[in-house]
Structure 1
Amino acid sequence: MAPIDDSVMRHQAWLGQLLNNDRNAADSTCDLVLESGGKQFKVHKSVLMLVSNYFRRMFTIEMKEKYEGIVKMQKIPHQRLANIIQFIYSGEIEITEENMLDVLDDAEYTEIKVVKTKCSAFLLDVVSPKNCLRLRAYAQRYNLDDLLNKTEHMMAQSFEAVIQNEDFKHLEYDDVCYILDNRNKGCEEAVFTGIVQWVNHNPLQREDLFVKLFSKLDLTVMFVDFLDEVYEENLVKTNVVCLNLLAHAALKMNKKHCGAIQSKEFILVGGEDTERDCVIYDVTTKQARLLPELQKPRCNTTSVKVGSEVYVIGGAKTVGDKPHKSCEMLNLNEQSRWNAIPDMRIARLNCGSEVMEEYIYVTGGCNERPTSSCEKYDIHKKRWFRIKDMLHERESHGTAVYHDSLYCIGGWDGKQRLSSCECFNAINDTWNEIAPLNRARDNLASVLLGGNIYAIGGSIGDRSVNTVEKYDPNTNKWEIVASLCVARSKPSACVVGNKIYVIGGWDDTNNLKSVEVYNQTSDVWSIAFKMQIPVYAAAAVAI
């Protein structure tokens, strides 16, 4: 169809206005009255028939209304009928979150497809993990295909957030099955939690359905520690089928890891007075060996490992110096030299870094002042791209990745230490607030272990602290766990052999040589060993 030029559109608008004005004229040519709630509206049959299939059938087949001058619209209240008539004559209709369902109902009843399309467009703009279950139900009820596709895509991509909604507990069994069958894999802990919540919402009718839902889980990709929680769930341990599935998964996981060499080493890079150093520490032998020096001196830097490559990002020449844009990479298979990679978009020190999919994400940091800006590095294309800014400026914060979401914890915004935390969804390109820390802190270390994020040490007020908090992404809650043996500001941390190692830092008097290890089963910290030299403001990665 050829596009309509402006003059035609102006003529159509002028004609529509004439017809609308005619409805209130003393010599009106209207040939029908619609009545609702005691209110009457003059209209033209021909206009209604052109826009609405409902009215076209009414006046073209043998219905009693075809021969009546007044048609009672008992199913549409008069305020809503006025809104529909306004659209028929002007093409304009008010759609809000408050009246959207009413407009959809009226559009469905009067069979005005274009109004349904407008409602669908309105809803497409507001789809979120919080409302996608409810909007999916609307899409099914009113046959809104675009909205149905978007809500189902949202459910698949953001399943962890979706199951936390109250709407999830009220779904029918077939809907729960559909969502589970079409979710993105990799969030099995959240799936299990959601299934249990759904069953417990109506146990009398749903308990027998649990085993069918449980069988949809891939237990082999769950964290080992979480499997203990699965076993302790009453719905599991009272069901022979569930116990057999759990035992089979455990056996499969043991076979998968049989003979695997578990990492017992970590690399420590940069730091105050160790700006060019790169050292491997073996946590079993407590021995150290040197790797090639960095091309540039770096303290207050950050580091990640991708495959056999270690990346060191930003930092500064010395404490108090200007930040670097530059980054370097060492291939652990060759261990010959550090190689420069493309510079970041902006220089940063005290920033955070994590790996998701094929990207290195860098968050915040300081460039004259704390920043909220973030960027990501495409490892294959060797290019940096800007991503959405955090909700808060922050440096000296913690970071962790859990199920393809990036978490930023605490830090310093240039005026105060932060308790606020936020989470980045790379699929939706959105940052969202999560539960705050119990105590604001910066200069902390952070790691992920057993599906929980740990915020370790740092500074509170003007002193280094030994306190540690643990965050459960599934419940969105922080809790206090055992404290470090020694207060530490700007320590380094990583997970080696399913244990957290916290390295060096500042205790308000000295830079520290000691390394602590955390056993999450017993919730106990202990001194693992001491390094030959103190380390402060360095970066650590497990290998």
Structure 2
Amino acid sequence: MSEHSAVYNELRLDQQLCDAVIRVGNVQFHVHKVILCNCSPYFRALFTTWSTPDSRLFDIPNVSPDMMKVIIDFAYTGFVPVTQQNVQELFIAADQFNVNGVIQACSDVLEEQLTIQNCISTWWFADTYYTPDLKHRVFLFILNHFEEVAATSEEFLQLSAQQLTKIIENDRLNVNTEKKVFEAIVRWIAYSAEERREHTSLLLPKVRLALMSPEYVLNSITHNELVKASKECQPILLKTLQVMLDLRTRRLSDLASCNALARPRLPPAILLAIGGWSGGSPINSIEAYDVRAKTWFPIIHNEEIPRAYHGTAFLNGSLYCVGGFDSIQQFSSMDKFDLGTHTWQEVAPMHSRRCYVSITVMDGYIYAIGGYNGQHRLKTAERYQPSANQWTLIAPMHHQRSDASCTTLRGKVYICGGFNGDECLSAAECYNPEMDQWTLIAPMGTSRSGIGVIAYADQVFAVGGFTGTARLRTAEAYNPHTNTWHAVPSMFNPRSNFGIEVVDGRLFVVGGFNGFNTSSDIECYNVETQEWSDVQDMEISRSALSCCVVYGLSNMAEYAAPRQPLQYPIEEEEEEEEIEV
């Protein structure tokens, strides 16, 4: 509260210089007209347009004394005590008097309190009181948690057909398989089958049926009682089979991106491949992999300096490129790419030049560990705090190491392998930030420089690399509970200095050097099946790159594969229904 506000509030509490009385039922509030005018357009109109200048007593209907007190207190102090108990009643009162500060505070609390069980009623509430920003954020919550909402929420069963359509036709609907969308429709219809079965043909074409397996469509959907009973569904199924046949002969293409039955949904996360060494020199290009569309495509961005043997991190909606090498000098610099505005900005440099650096993120900090400064292999480490734009040195490692790789798991940083200037390392260690201390852990079974290290399935995976004589296909995983390493299935191809990340529940290895050439080759590992599989190649062969996964972006479509306007197999003429409480 400012000094002036404190004075005004003291005068109000002492009922001095007050020129109006707000009466709610039998409760009176002595106020200063100018203070309430500053807080709310409602009160400005009440005091200047809807009454005469000499009016002093104002009866306010349809609000409780408690809520009016909170509104008046906010007008004088700028503080509003929003609680789980009063948030909706206070929101309604603030909406009635158009007090934007209170509306925003209530919106923030409603968003913080979102759960699987209350998100739909909050969506309805936000629509009723016309708060588009809150309504949009709650809608995104529903889309992001759709599988849980559809399977467990009682509110889900109260949606209208048009509301359900709005949800399941959205590209941002986050489902692992389209089977979950079909099952959600069946659950919704079954809640009131006689009344809702007529909506089957409205809802079915919103499912991306052509992305399912032909066996599931033919055996489960075609024979579903609701689908069999609807004549309007038969042409939808025929169209689905036709699209499936078309897609069998080619990759997901323009046909898939515009056809509603085959159009991949937007992924919840995007895998980026950034910079690296290609064609004999460092590059600055960025490619993105869309796991739903199964394709790589270039990201257009303002020019960033070419760099290789660098690290990247995603934090607070921005991409950071750390250290590296431009074929002439090693960098201590770090550049930040705002994924919302597509612009680069240089931020605070590290204490040391670091190429072959290991980078990871933990608890809101970016860690930069080891590397090569042009003269020495480093054992030093530091971390960056974005809010302060500042790097701070932390305890040094036990080993000098460049060309290592690191990850975070259960509140600790793990770093493995690398090169100490004389030999490739099998040594590994972990960092505890609470104690600012590194501890040696069991060494890997193989020495690995140019290694890929990533946390996956509650273990630390160490993949590929260079022994000093050969590039590796092998991989091993560390169990922190037993301090032991065990072998996991080998990759198809040997590689070192590649990108590694986990996205869509799978471990991806990207590009690298195979001993003869830089590679555009990608493969991924599924821990459940314990199998590697091929992924579409990048457009550019590159090694010494860095990979990063970005998520939670409001403009995710700008980093996903382009999608054309949808074409539905059957055009609906019904107007979109307004949300009703």
Corresponding residue to 2:276 among 271, 276, 279: 271
Structure 1's 291 and 438: CA in aligned 2 closer, same or farther, altered over 3 A? Answer: same
Q: What letter matches 1:270 in structure 2?
A: G
Instruction: Please report how far the alpha carbon of residue 408 of structure 1 lies from its aligned counterpart in structure 2 after TM superposition.
Output: 0.7
Deviation per residue, 1:4-50 (Å, 9 max, x gap): xxxxxxxxxxxxxxxxxxxxxxxxxxxxxxxxxxxxxxxxxxxxxxx
The TM-score, its normalising length taken from structure 2, stands at 0.48
Alpha-carbon distance in structure 2 between the residues aligned to 1:300 and 1:333: 26
Matched, 1:434 2:445: no
CA RMSD of aligned residues (A): 2.3
* Amino acid paired to 1:332: L
Change over 3 Å in CA distance of 1:385–1:479 after alignment to 2: same
Structure 2 matches for 1:94-243, cutoff 5 A? Answer: none
**In the aligned structure 2, how far is the partner of 1:307 from the partner of 1:279?**
20
After superposition, the C-alpha distances for 1:42-89 in whole angstroms (9 at most, x for unaligned) are: xxxxxxxxxxxxxxxxxxxxxxxxxxxxxxxxxxxxxxxxxxxxxxxx
Deviation at 1:307, TM superposition (A): 2.7
Count of aligned pairs between the two proteins: 292
Please report how far the alpha carbon of residue 474 of structure 1 lies from its aligned counterpart in structure 2 after TM superposition: 1.5
Q: 1:185 matched to which residue of 2?
A: none
Q: Deviation per CA, 1:497-531: give whole Å up to 9, x if none.
A: 01011100111111111110111111111111112
Does residue 476 (structure 1) correspond to residue 483 (structure 2)? The answer is yes
The letter for the 1-side match of 2:315 is V
- 1:258, CA displacement in angstroms? 8.8
Report Cα offsets for 1:460-506 as digits up to 9, x if no partner: 13211110011111111111100000000111111110101110011
Aligned to 1:342: 348
- Letter in structure 1 aligned against 2:498: P
Q: Residue 282 of structure 1 aligns with which residue?
A: 290
Residues 283 and 252 (structure 1), Cα distance of their counterparts in 2 relative to 1, 3 Å cut: closer
CA distance in structure 2 between the aligned counterparts of 1:535 and 1:469, rounded to whole angstroms? 24
- Structure number with greater CO (CA < 8 Å, separation at least 6) is 2
Which TM-score applies when normalising by structure 1? Answer: 0.51
Q: Percent identical across equivalent pairs?
A: 25
Report the Cα distance in structure 2 between the residues aligned to 1:406 and 1:494, rounded to whole angstroms: 16
Shift of the alpha carbon at 1:366? 0.5
Matched, 1:422 2:429: yes
Which ranges in structure 1 are unaligned for 5 or more consecutive residues? 1-219, 221-249
Give the aligned residue type for 1:512.
S
CA distance in 2, matches of 1:380, 1:442: 34
**Residue of structure 1 in register with 2:326 after alignment:** 317
Residues 400, 447 of structure 1: 8 Å contact kept: yes
Secondary structure at the residue paired with 2:541?
strand
CA distance change for structure 1 residues 341 and 517 in 2, over 3 Å: closer, same or farther?
A: same
Task: List runs of 5+ in structure 2 lacking aligned partners.
Answer: 1-115, 117-146, 154-171, 176-265, 551-581
What is the aligned counterpart of 2:401 among 385, 394, 399? 394
Assess, with a 3 A threshold, how the Cα gap between structure 1 residues 332 and 251 changes in structure 2: closer, same or farther: closer
User: Partner of 1:399: helix, strand, or coil?
Assistant: strand
- The match for 1:534 is 541
Would you say the 8 A contact 1:263–1:496 is kept in 2?
no
Partner of 1:357: 363
Runs of 4 or more consecutive aligned structure 1 residues displaced over 6 Å after TM superposition = 250-258
1:264–1:284 CA contact under 8 A, matched in 2? no
The 1-side partners of 2:455 and 2:352 are apart by: 27
Counterparts of 1:428 and 1:258, CA distance in 2: 42
Tell me, in whole angstroms, the C-alpha distance in 2 between the residues paired with 1:486 and 1:253. Answer: 41
1:287 to partner: Cα distance: 3.1
Q: Which residue of 2 aligns with 1:8?
A: none
Amino acid aligned to 2:291: V
Distance 1:459 1:416 in 2: 11
- The higher radius of gyration belongs to 1
Q: Determine the C-alpha separation between the residues in 1 that align with 2:366 and 2:289.
A: 24
| Deviation sequence 1:216-265 (CA, Å, 0-9, x none) | xxxx9xxxxxxxxxxxxxxxxxxxxxxxxxxxxx9799869995775352
Task: Say which is worse superposed, 292-301 or 456-465, in terms of deviation.
Answer: 292-301
- TM superposition shift of 1:542: 1.1
**Does the 8 A contact of 2:428 with 2:444 survive in 1?**
yes
Please tell me whether the aligned partners of residues 356 and 404 of structure 1 are also in contact (alpha carbons under 8 angstroms): yes
Counterparts in 2 of 1:252 and 1:400: CA distance versus 1, 3 Å: farther
**Cα distance, 1:343 vs. partner?**
0.8
**1:255–1:393 distance in 2 versus 1, CA, 3 Å:** farther
Q: Structure 1 residues 294 and 300, CA, compared in 2 at 3 Å: closer, same or farther?
A: farther
Name the amino acid aligned to 1:397: A
Q: Closer, same or farther in 2 for the Cα pair 1:294/1:385, shift >3 Å? A: farther
